[in-house]
Structure formats: structure tokens, C-alpha cells
Amino acid sequence: WHGMRQKNTPYMDGIPGITQCPIPPGGSYTYNFTISDQSGTYWWHSHYSNAMADGLWGPLIVHSVDEPIQRGRDYDEDRIVFVSDWMHDNSEI
């Protein structure tokens, strides 16, 4: 959650072995935190081995509850373009 302040939830930062236990193969984990004073476009990515270079990352859009621009009235949809060329070959993970 690059750029998102984790007020009272530093354990939701998602770094295995530092802020939480690793998620086992086939397992799942639900991140649950509240963003009350930030809005904008952010991004997330894996912290496991080369998973980020393999493409395990993506956008996260946080809309302001006070924002006067409304989907459907002022625009049709959110569009994000992510471009990546980290490695020529996938990792072995």
C-alpha cells in the first residue's frame, strides 16, 4: 500500500516475517484497514521473492467520501494503465 498511512494498523502493511506471518500456499489473508483521510491512486505489490517482478502487483483506488466528482455522472469508469518490463524471464518461484 505504497503511500497509504496505516494509522493504528501497522500489522496490515503486508511484509511477511516483519509485520505478519507469511501466507501459506493455498492459504488466504484478508487485509482490513480504514483509510479515512487519504484519497487517490496507490499501488500494492508482493514482498515474496521475485513475485513482484513476475507481475504480482496492482492498483488501488481510494475515492474520497467528500469528492464532488461522481462515477456515472462525471465519468464512466476508473481506468489505470500499468506498464512493466522488470525481467525477461519469469522467476522460479
Give me the number of domains the chain comprises.
1
Nearest to 61 by CA among 3, 14, 17: 3
Of 69 and 23, the structure prediction assigns the larger pLDDT to 23
Which band of pLDDT confidence, cut at 50, 70 and 90, is reported for residue 71? low
Q: Using one digit for the tens of pLDDT, what is the confidence trace for 2-23?
A: 778 888 888 787 777 787 888 8
pLDDT of residue 86: 66
Task: Specify the CATH number for the domain of residue 20.
Answer: 2.60.40.420
End-to-end CA distance of the chain: 23
H/E stretch holding 44 reads strand 40-45
Beta bridge partners of 62: 40
Whether the pTM exceeds 0.75: the reply is: no
Domain range for 21 is 1-93
